[in-house]
Amino acid sequence: MSLLESFVTSYKEHFLKVVPTFDATLLGALKKVQYVLLEEQQLPSIQLKKALDRLQMRSEEPMKVAITGQFSSGKSTFLNALLAKNILPTGITPVTSKVNYIRYGEEFKIRVRYKDGRDEYHDINTIAHFTDQREHVEDIAYLVLYAPLNILKDVVFVDTPGLNSQAASDTQTTEKVLKEVDGIIWLTLIDNAGKMSELQVLEEYLGKYQNKSLCVLNQKDKFTPQQIEETTNYVKTAFKEFFSDVIPISARQALESRSHDKKVMMEETLETFMHDLHVKLENGGEKLDFAQVEHDFKAYQTTLDSILQSDLGANLKLLEESNIDKVLDFIRNEIQPKSTQSKEFAITKEIKDITAKLIAQHQLFLSIYDELLGEIIRFEAEAKGLFTELKGKFSHDLKSAFMRIEQIIETIADAIYNQITTVTQIRYEAQKTGLFSKHQSYLPFEYQAPKINSDLIYKSLFYEENLIGKMFKQYVKNLGAIQNEVNDKNRLVYRSLEQGILKWQAPYEVIRKSEELHSDIEFANMRRFASKAYESILKPFNDEIASSYAKISSEFNHLSSAVSFNYQNATEVCVAFLENKIEKSAKLYEENPTKFSLYTPKLDEIKERLRTSFHLYELENMMNTRNTFLNKDYDRLISQFTAIKEEKVAFLEERKARHHKIIEQIETLVKEIV
């Protein structure tokens, strides 16, 4: 084999899943169902696996025949007669309080299945302890009796508690069994047959099973042939909608006649000898009486010889009179031919029910994700509208705040302008003393020079009444109110999503499967997913709101500090600038009054200078344009929320895709096998 061929072979073994082929039989269909539904990606429950295992067992096991009837109809005695062996306990009280499955086994034994799933195996002689409702058997689910009897190779008998037991749970258990079995034998006493009470029970429980039900009238040995015939004909007519046939029998006679089978008698004799020997060994210890054992063995041999030489003609006649063989014929000729067909129908129906429940499970998850998707999409659209609305509102509020600074600047400008006065200054101008003289003299000239009374300005604006300080304090307060409202409104927008997600989360954080077959892992994953709704859904939105809060707080702090912390210094800078300009103009004027004029600040010039000192043009870009820092942040939030929504939609659609795929696989499976 070449290196390439070796690689291809290894690749196929490790990475290519070989899909097995399934034949067209019922068992083949079941194996295909198991192959698909128990795949790892399906995350199947233990209950689903057990249900499919039960279906496979049912497809392979013999037909099931339930023995049911009213209280004290002799079900256990009748079953013992069918089995030709005293296995089930009998009595006057309704001792059978548990379902007993009687199956073929290599030896006699009992398997006790408890409600918690435990199994125990016991000697068959202890069966009464587990079936008698007078005992403490509440924890027992059902029993399986194994017996090496040939009849059990073809049929599994199901002994039921009955349909008119004093315990409602017994009736419910029996009703459930009737739905699962291939045939039903309704056992009643001849003298009770046709009574109104029995009719009511049949109408309630057996109306749907006419094609697989047989009515057996017990205790025929107590009545004359004429009475038996009249009762049988009456029941056939009156109850024809419930039964395929009516057969009168004597369970007592059938049980007594079991001795016609020498093999059965020999087996019972051997069982008795071995049981007695076991008791002696258990009780005798080292002091075992070997002479007694030898005596018992000789007695056993004598009994065997007697059985072999006996004439069983009387027992055969008793067996014939009991009519029990007609019941066995009905099972072989009526129930068995229909059992395969009914089994296929029942198993196919069960497969449909199982797949429908699994599809419903995944449809539930899809609806949960769709609910969450709807909430996210709703919120993103709502947030976009609210942010756009808030954008307009706070643009107006910022503009008003900016105009407040303009008003403060006008107040300061007015205060400066009102404190511009004039003072008398003297300048000296050179004069020649004579026509030819080189000596110059300087003559004084008075002029009125502008002057800014800065002390009075500062006193009126900052020191005495602190007018400007108060105005800026109110400005900062107004900015803080805008900032708080912006953040509060943004949090309210996020709160809308948070409340919607938490409302979605509440039921699914504790969701539990409603059907046993549903996947425990799927529901656990959904609970885990719902519990992490903040991390997977809310956190990115909350992070953006938090980021917005940080950016907005920083910008508002800048707006506050830009003017409120240095307003006096900005005013002083403006005044100093004007004073310097006045001083320079005065110097130039004194040097050449014909060329230069004195500079007197105008009100508009003062305002412009103050705007520069207060960096008002920078603030205007932040507060009084269409592109304010708040507008930028809202545009960013809208963009980010849209991006997060799209990311979450893709994330949830990916999770949904898995469930869609599984539903498609199950639906394809149903089409192929049903």
- Condensed to tens digits (0 to 9), the pLDDT of residues 119-133 reads 888 888 777 777 665
Structure confidence by residue, pLDDT tens digits, 604-644:
999 999 888 888 888 888 888 888 889 999 999 999 999 99
Whether 89 is covered by a domain: the verdict is yes
Smallest CA-to-CA distance from 536 within 371, 380, 652 is with 652
Please check whether residue 518 lies inside any domain of the structure.
yes
**515 and 500 within one domain:** yes
Per-residue pLDDT tens over the stretch 280-298: 777 766 666 777 777 777 7
The pLDDT of residue 166 is above 90: no
Give 564 or 529, the one with higher predicted confidence.
529
Strand bridging mode 99-104 / 155-159 = antiparallel
Q: Looking at residue 264, what is its pLDDT?
A: 65
The number of beta carbons lying within 10 Å of the beta carbon of residue 432 is 11
Show Cβ contacts of residue 38 under 8 Å, excluding neighbours closer than 6 positions: 44, 48, 49, 52
Phi, psi of 594 (to 5 degrees): -80, -25
- pLDDT value at position 92? 42
**Together in a domain, 310 and 401:** no
Place of tokens 């942010």: 387
Residue 50 lies in a domain: no
Count structural domains, the chain: 3
Q: What is the pLDDT of residue 297?
A: 79
Are 314 and 362 contained in the same domain? no
Determine, yes or no, domain membership for 555: yes
Q: For 502-542, give the DSSP string.
A: HHHHHHHSS---SSTTS-HHHHHHHHHHHHTHIIIIIHHHH
For residue 79, the model assigns a pLDDT of: 83
pLDDT of residue 471: 86
pTM above 0.85, yes or no: no
- Do 654 and 559 have their domain in common? yes
Q: Is 107 helix (H, G, I), strand (E, B) or coil?
A: coil
Tell whether 329 and 246 lie within a shared domain. yes
Q: How many CB atoms lie within 10 A of CB 393?
A: 15
pLDDT of amino acid 169: 62
Specify if 37 maps to a domain: no
Phi, psi for residue 145 in degrees, rounded to 5 = -100, 125
pLDDT band at 656 (very low <50, low <70, confident <90, very high): very high
Burial class (CB in 10 A: 0-12, 13-18, 19+), 210: middle
CATH number at residue 290: 3.40.50.300
Where does the pLDDT of residue 106 fall: very low under 50, low under 70, confident under 90, or very high at 90 and above?
confident
pLDDT tens readout for residues 52-69: 998 888 788 788 888 888
Mean pLDDT, residues 233-239 taken together: 87
Name the nearest CA neighbour of 249 among 324, 191, 329, 331: 324
Residue 497 and residue 477 share a domain: yes
Higher-confidence residue: 129 or 145? 145
Greater pLDDT, 659 or 204: 659
Comparison of pLDDT for 608 and 89, the residue scoring more: 608
Q: Has residue 338 been placed in a domain?
A: yes
Q: Does residue 327 share a domain with residue 389?
A: no
pLDDT band at 309 (very low <50, low <70, confident <90, very high): low
365 and 414 inside one domain: yes
Do 413 and 319 lie in one domain? The reply is no
Q: Which of 298, 317, 344 is the last residue of a domain?
A: 344
Instruction: Assess whether 221 and 370 both reside in one domain.
Output: no
Domain match, 186 and 335 both: yes
Q: Quick one: what percent of the chain has pLDDT higher than 90?
A: 32
386 and 460 in contact (C-beta within 8 Å)?
no
Whether 141 and 11 share a structural domain: no
Confidence of residue 313 (pLDDT cuts 50, 70, 90): low
**Across 246-260, average pLDDT:** 80
In a domain, 53, yes or no: no
Mean pLDDT of all residues in the chain? 84
Last residue of a domain, one of 344, 374, 403: 344
Domain boundary among 292, 323, 344: 344
Predicted confidence at residue 136, as pLDDT, reads: 61
Domain that holds residue 153: 58-344
Helix 26-37 with 46-60: angle, nearest 10 deg: 170
Q: Examine residue 51 and state whether it is found in any structural domain, yes or no.
A: no
